[in-house]
Amino acid sequence: MDHLEILPVEDEKTEREFLWFPYRLYRNHPYWVPPLLTAQKELFDISRHPFHRHGTVQRFLATRSARTVGRIAAILDPRYNEFHHENAGFFGFLEMIEDAAVASGLLETAREWLRQRGVNVMRGPVNPSTNYECGLLVDGFDSSPRVMMTYNYPYYARLVEQAGLRKARDLLAYEVSAQSVRAGRVNALLERAKCDGMRIRMVRLSEFDQEVELAWGLYNSAWARNWGFVPMSREEFFHHAREMRPILIPKLVLFAEI
């Protein structure tokens, strides 16, 4: 078998390979939705994306006979460790062919990079934190992924476990149809809330920055006790909001106030 090499992403050629590898891996796949290439480029741009103000991301490529067969990123996020009083590191952006040697080589490279920086536990995938896409898909391979949900081939979980990792948590996704909602109960709760002085309003696009400021505080407060949560910086949250603004539909973005 040809020799497997794990190389750091450090120039335009390896940068391009890292970005384009998933497009080749999932070519013509009926359920994989390609990410916007411009958004992916910006996410890894240390001069533009606010995650890099506090986090460090080192990407690697797996190659065999000059052909890319996998990729991974090792991620160090001091905000996570400060919030959870841990010494953890992460891996993310994992893509690979069905090959145990490739999987173990990629994960061991990420693990060693983190170990050299004093990290004693590695978790993932997070891309690059739980505020973004995270987790491996282990069920539901025949359904289309939604926004900010991962998709991968069924063999990923098996190869990751063979490489020595074990499941940390189940991350569950729920689908609720309009037909399954008990309208009577919802309306009764709404009427009770109104009696308590609550009102529901749409987002005010004319006061966008103030609304984002409000949402930022709510987001970090509401998710503070969720497993794996890391507080999002103001700069990072505003970056997300500005990305979403062009597709934002005001009547679907609601605030409840008392």
CA dihedral 74, 239, 26, 65 (to 10 degrees): -40
Least confident of 37-51, 71-85, 176-190, 238-252: 176-190
Domain with CATH 3.40.630.30 in the chain: 4-162
One DSSP character per residue, 187-211 reads: HHHHHHHHHTT-EEEE--GGGHHHH
Overall average pLDDT of the 120-129 stretch: 96
**Per-residue model confidence as pLDDT tens digits over 158-183:** 999 999 999 999 999 888 888 888 87
Q: Look over the chain and give the mean of its residue pLDDT values, rounded to a whole number.
A: 94
DSSP symbols for 129-162: STTSEES---S-TTS---TT-----THHHHHHHH
Distance CA 49, CA 76 (A): 15
pTM, two decimal places: 0.92
Asked if the model's pLDDT at residue 254 lies above 60, the reply is yes
Helix-strand-coil percent breakdown of the chain, rounded to 5?
40, 20, 40
Q: What's the pLDDT tens digit per position in 182-232?
A: 878 888 888 888 888 889 999 999 999 999 999 999 999 999 999 999 999
CATH topology of domain 4-162: Aminopeptidase (3.40.630)
Quick one: DSSP state of residue 99? -
Q: What is the DSSP string of 8-30?
A: E--SHHHHHHHHHHHHHHTTT-S
pLDDT at 154 over 60: yes
Percent of the chain with pLDDT over 70: 100
